[in-house]
Amino acid sequence: MARTDRGRGRLAVAVSVFGELLITAGVVMALFVVYSLWWTNVLADREAKRQGHAVRNTWAQKGPGALDTKDGIGFLHVPAMKNGEVLVKSGTSTDVLNEGVAGFYRTPVKAAMPWDKQGNFTLAAHRDGHGAKFHNIDKVKTGDRLVFETRDVWYVYKVFAELKETSKYNVEVLDPVPKESGVTKPGRYLTLTTCTPVYTSDYRYIVWAELERTEKVDADRTKPAELR
């Protein structure tokens, strides 16, 4: 009888320890999720704002002139995403995108710049965590306007196609003439890319737009009608 009681006692201790381990693991997992989906956003937004202010200060100090800066080439505005302005920098590496910005592709297909006579201005940003600047990309629809702001010019684009899921290896969506979007000749295109479904990186979500017009930036930096 004593042996049976001791066996049951050991089993109870083992079950108790295992249960505590499960609870601890659950707490750790919950904290990791909070860190990944909330705290990284806080840190990235803070860093993106700092860098954005630095770019605007540089513009103010230098006045009219070259469009590019070493810290960022301009700001993307997508009213449908309701995410404010997004600083755009060079490169799409994790180090760049984790700063809460969008990056333009240098590889595998080099992006054209908005001021180029033709080509595809291709951008990437995170959909979840680290600022999640393209989290609401699914809210962008055909006919919506996207605006890219540089020091001297507003570039206004009109969305003409969306691809809600494609392989992460499909680099043809970045081509100067992205034929998968339906276009067949050179133009001045803008492509947004991010991961999908939400909270995964299995596939890519694509939005294509074409330059509709440009507006020169005035002394007051009056926003285009699409942003008012």
Total residues belonging to the chain: 228
195 is catalytic: yes
Place of tokens 């605007």: 56
Cα 135–Cα 224–Cα 58 angle in degrees, nearest 5: 75
Distance between CA 198 and CA 186 in Å, rounded? Answer: 32
DSSP per-residue letters across 8-24: HHHHHHHHHHHHHHHHH
Specify whether the backbone of 88 is left (phi greater than 0), alpha (psi in -120 to 50) or beta: beta
Q: Which DSSP helix (H) or strand (E) runs through 57?
A: helix 40-62
Which residues make beta-bridge pairs with 192? 123, 207
User: Which alpha helices (H) appear in 85-221, and where do they start and end?
Assistant: 94-97
Distance between CA 25 and CA 65 in Å, rounded? Answer: 56
Distance between CA 150 and CA 127 in Å, rounded? Answer: 24
Q: Which of 76, 123, 156, 195 is catalytic?
A: 195
Strands 102-104 and 85-90: parallel
Residues with catalytic annotation?
A: 195
